[in-house]
Amino acid sequence: MSESVTSGARSMTVASAFAGMRSVTPVMFRAGCPDCRGSFELTASALRLAIGATSRTTFYSFTCPDCGASVRKPAGERIVELLTGGGVSTLRLHTL
């Protein structure tokens, strides 16, 4: 039992690990605009998440694809978890 667990195992490169994958489906988030009342889906790149020191300063934002309005909505713990897990860019706000 003195043999190493990795004896005989080949090292794996990133390219070989993902060689069988054809494509990755982007995560889509459902959102709505309070100005025009449009309902739509957005990719992670269309959203921004700002995490502040309190729940009052934690929010996500996006531009409405229908009317162009800048939308900012509060983000609780669950929303933060979903957005970060889906690849949304995150900005951490610091107070002075």
Span 35-57, pLDDT tens digits: 999 999 999 999 999 999 888 89
Q: Give the model's pLDDT for residue 94.
A: 76
Read off the pLDDT band of 14 (50, 70, 90). confident
Rounded CA separation 84/49 (Å): 8
Residue 15 has pLDDT above 90, yes or no: no
Residue 72 has pLDDT above 90, yes or no: yes
Residue 80 has pLDDT above 50, yes or no: yes
Residue 68 has pLDDT above 70, yes or no: yes
Q: How many CA atoms lie within 13 A of 7 on its CB side?
A: 5
Which tokens in the block code for residue 85?
């897990």
| Core vs surface per residue 44-69: b (16+ CB within 10 A) or e | bebbbbbbeeeeeebbbebebeeeee
Q: Across the strands, what pairs with 90?
A: 49
Residue 11 amino acid letter: S
Read off the pLDDT band of 23 (50, 70, 90). low
Residue 32 has pLDDT above 60, yes or no: yes
